[in-house]
Structure 1
């Protein structure tokens, strides 16, 4: 399933008792349509509270279903802040999470008065000080590659913070909006929002570009790095290998990452 959702009304993707989540809403709708007591949906990227998605991918194991009909039925049951854009039979070996090669997020910032639009405030961060794109780009290059991103992550027991940051690019759109595009094999908790917070400090001139590399090298959560608000962040796209490589990728992704792994 290809999904889009407005994260403002959800306590993130993952199911939580007593809280409204994307997974909870989707699983309830699927159980109703398929007439089963319960089921479990797996997604490519477990977005945090308030984070949006245009390109979320999820899978569910079912006995039988007609994809187009299932999509229409879900569309009639799900709330307006979730959209199922496509439903298809998955290829053998497909796993929405572990078969993924990379995820791409975008963070949008309005840092000049003429770019602050009340109509986009739900998915664009209004930043009251101008940011220097050149300084941000200098700092961003220091973060690329396979590293221990513990300085930018909220640690979880038993989880590794080693990730491969494939791309971290920034551009000004024609209207002046500043957009960062972040691509990695996977992300740990708060990683993207912490990376953006670090780069914003550089863009304001409060920190030199090399500070980003110094924070990364520290390999411990740095309290001087601001975690920017969730609403500016959107999961845009997830990349997968060809069908005959899906199972192999899923197996490889289940191994715990180390710094010695190939980038």
Structure 2
């Protein structure tokens, strides 16, 4: 996963969206499940009339059932293929890809761009309805129904205690060799005019299940099962709490990925690859 492009190749950025309901996540799998990466990587050689396959690198590997509106990926293509097919790729992929994946923009990436390591933040939204009658049937695949009335003020009070750089081990599924230290830049809830509660969750990066676990904890506060300060105590304990439920994936959408200025890409890539630790008192 190099930041340097091989001679004769060009790095291409793809901005895309998908409805995650029909996918076993982003990443290709060996068991034959349908994935977003698999669909795009299968379509690319076809629309370029090419025998070789080309591997995508993505900003955030979403889980099964999670949606994306502002996902970013890159792929390295031979210069001659890009020059010949680049101007036509957007329309051709629109005709080839299934309708639950759309690529909105295809462009030549600047030097040192890496869809994953260059990112400085990812922003997700999680949507919940606490209407006693349930969720609008037309939104049922994108909004979670919570069968308790939710206190917006209490949820935001709990969210405030989680902001900043912390070890989020209590809200993550631990992976061997990976850190659970993250900087949570934004976490807030608002009730939309249609009554749906929408969480905005923004961080430099997320560990596995982190957003869905954070939402689960705040719902437990919002429906009165725990006080707002409980979420902060769980965070400090840095171990998984059985009371923190990982909510279902269909309410979660990757909305946007942020990148620094072009001249800062190389430095950002190096920083993102460093294993983070918290400062000692």
* 5+ long unaligned stretches in structure 2: 1-13
* 2:28 aligned residue (7, 15, 19): 15
Show CA shifts across 1:32-88 (max 9, x none): 223142221001010001000000000001113143411111111110100001100
Distance 1:20 1:152 in 2: 28
Show CA shifts across 1:97-133 (max 9, x none): 0000000000000111367201000101111211000
Secondary structure at the counterpart of residue 103 of structure 2? strand
Show CA shifts across 1:161-213 (max 9, x none): 11000000110111111000000000010000000000000000000111101
Q: How does 1:241-256 map to 2 (within 5 A)?
A: 241-256=260-275
Secondary structure at the counterpart of residue 164 of structure 1? strand
Task: Give aligned pairs, total.
Answer: 261
Distance 1:148 1:165 in 2: 10
Q: Which is further off, 128-137 or 112-121?
A: 112-121
Q: Is 2:25 the partner of 1:6? A: no
Give the corresponding residue for 1:186: 205
CA contact (8 A) 1:5 1:52 kept: yes
The structure that has the greater radius of gyration is: 2
Distance 2:97 2:277 in 1: 40
CA contact (8 A) 1:115 1:176 kept: no
Question: How much is the aligned-residue C-alpha RMSD, in angstroms?
Answer: 1.3
Using the size of structure 2 for normalisation, the TM-score is 0.90
Give the corresponding residue for 2:177: 158
Distance 2:206 2:120 in 1: 12
Give the corresponding residue for 2:66: 51
* 5+ long unaligned stretches in structure 1: none
Distance 2:234 2:223 in 1: 17
Give the corresponding residue for 2:44: 30
Secondary structure at the counterpart of residue 77 of structure 2? coil
Give the corresponding residue for 1:96: 115
Secondary structure at the counterpart of residue 189 of structure 2? strand
Give the corresponding residue for 2:78: 63
Distance 1:115 1:55 in 2: 28
Q: Which is further off, 49-58 or 69-78?
A: 69-78
